[in-house]
Structure 1
Amino acid sequence: MLIDAHCHLDFPDFDADRELVIERARAVGVAHCVVPGTTREHWGRVLALGKREDVSICLGLHPYFMAEHAPGDLKALAQWLDDHPEIVAVGECGIDARFADSWDAQWRFFDAQLRLAKERTLPVVIHCVQANDRVAKRLRQLDLPAGGLIHAFAGSPEQAKKFLDLGFTLGLGGATTFERAKRVQRAVASLPDDGYVLETDSPDMPLAGYQGERNEPARVAEICRTVAELRGQSEERVAAASTATARRLFDLPS
Structure 2
Amino acid sequence: MWIDTHCHLDAHEFGAGARAVAARAGHAGVSMIVIPAVETGNFGAVAQLARAAPNASYALGIHPIYVPQASEDDLATLRGAVEAAMGDPRFVAIGEIGLDFFIPMLCEPAMREKQEHFLREQLRIARDFALPVLMHVRRSQDQVLKHVRQIRPAGGIAHAFNGSFQQAQTYLELGFRLGFGGAMTFTRALQIRRLASALPLHGLVLETDAPDIAPAWLHPARNSPEQLPAIGAVLAGLRGMTAGQVAAATHANALAALPRLAHLVAPLTAAP
| Range into which the TM-score falls when normalised by the shorter chain | over 0.9
State the aligned residue count: 253
Over aligned residue pairs, what C-alpha RMSD do you find?
A: 1.3
SS in 2 for 1:233: coil
SS in 2 for 1:17: helix
Query: What is the CA–CA distance in structure 2 between the aligned matches of 1:53 and 1:211, rounded to whole Å?
Result: 28
Query: What is the CA–CA distance in structure 1 between the aligned matches of 2:48 and 2:163, rounded to whole Å?
Result: 34
Matched, 1:138 2:147: yes
Partner of 1:100: 107
User: How does 1:88-127 map onto structure 2 within 5 Å?
Assistant: 88-98=92-102, 99-101=106-108, 102-127=111-136
Runs of at least 4 residues off by over 6 Å:
none
- The one-letter code of the counterpart of 1:240 is A
Query: What is the CA–CA distance in structure 1 between the aligned matches of 2:168 and 2:241, rounded to whole Å?
Result: 19
Query: What is the CA–CA distance in structure 2 between the aligned matches of 1:91 and 1:143, rounded to whole Å?
Result: 15
Query: What is the CA–CA distance in structure 2 between the aligned matches of 1:235 and 1:112, rounded to whole Å?
Result: 39
User: How does 1:1-254 map onto structure 2 within 5 Å?
Assistant: 1-51=1-51, 52-85=53-86, 86=88, 87-98=91-102, 99-101=106-108, 102-144=111-153, 146-251=154-259, 252=261, 253=263, 254=266
SS in 2 for 1:50: helix
SS in 2 for 1:189: helix
What are the ranges of 5 or more consecutive residues in structure 1 without an aligned counterpart?
A: none
Query: 1:47/1:16 Cα in 2 relative to 1: closer, same or farther (>3 Å)?
Result: closer
Query: Is the 8 Å Cα contact of residues 19 and 49 (structure 2) preserved in structure 1?
Result: no
Query: Is the 8 Å Cα contact of residues 94 and 131 (structure 2) preserved in structure 1?
Result: yes
Query: Is the 8 Å Cα contact of residues 22 and 55 (structure 2) preserved in structure 1?
Result: no
Deviation at 1:212, TM superposition (A): 2.1
Query: Is the 8 Å Cα contact of residues 163 and 169 (structure 1) preserved in structure 2?
Result: yes
Query: What is the CA–CA distance in structure 1 between the aligned matches of 2:237 and 2:144, rounded to whole Å?
Result: 29
Deviation at 1:39, TM superposition (A): 0.7
Percent of paired sites with the same residue: 39
| Farther-moved stretch of structure 1 (20-29 vs 235-244) | 20-29
Query: What is the CA–CA distance in structure 1 between the aligned matches of 2:7 and 2:45, rounded to whole Å?
Result: 13
Deviation at 1:12, TM superposition (A): 1.6
- The one-letter code of the counterpart of 1:174 is G
Partner of 2:269: none
SS in 1 for 2:13: helix
Query: What is the CA–CA distance in structure 2 between the aligned matches of 1:15 and 1:224, rounded to whole Å?
Result: 26
Deviation at 1:79, TM superposition (A): 0.4
What are the ranges of 5 or more consecutive residues in structure 2 without an aligned counterpart?
A: 267-272
Query: Is the 8 Å Cα contact of residues 22 and 56 (structure 2) preserved in structure 1?
Result: no
SS in 2 for 1:31: strand
